Amino acid sequence: MGLSIRVCLGVASVMFCFFVLRLVATGKLLLKYSLLWLLLCFALLFCAIFPSAVYSISEFFGILAPSNFVFLVGIALLFAVALSLSVVVSKQVDSIKNLTQRIAILEKEADEFRDHR
């Protein structure tokens, strides 16, 4: 891996890390959802700082090009992010359904109370 690519990858990962931390600080992103993004940043930074480790690990797994290993790790982490967000959305759908049902029950009770007055 060339020095220019390593520098660009390192700078990009540090900038993205600061961007994620800024989103957390301003309250636009919860900390628990930022952890996987930060893990991705640190994985890319590790690849930029220690390219020999990437070569060794990719050779160990039988991957011919280290860049393919980096893409594989990145895609795996993005799948983890997508899965965690799918779990969150599923929980929120259930919560919204329950809240809608509770509101409907309360509105019905309020209407019945008004009718009996």
Lookup result for tokens 């220019």: 4
**DSSP structural state of residue 28:** S
The tens-digit pLDDT sequence of the chain (117 residues) is: 678 888 888 899 999 999 999 999 999 988 888 888 888 888 888 888 888 888 899 999 999 888 888 788 878 888 888 898 899 899 999 999 999 999 999 999 999 888 887
Quick check: 16 and 8 in contact, CB under 8 A?
Answer: no
Please tell me the distance from the alpha carbon of residue 44 to that of residue 36, in angstroms, as a whole number.
12
Quick check: 63 and 69 in contact, CB under 8 A?
Answer: yes
Q: What pTM, to 2 d.p., does this model score?
A: 0.67
Cβ within 8 Å of residue 20, ≥6 positions away: 29, 34, 37, 38, 41
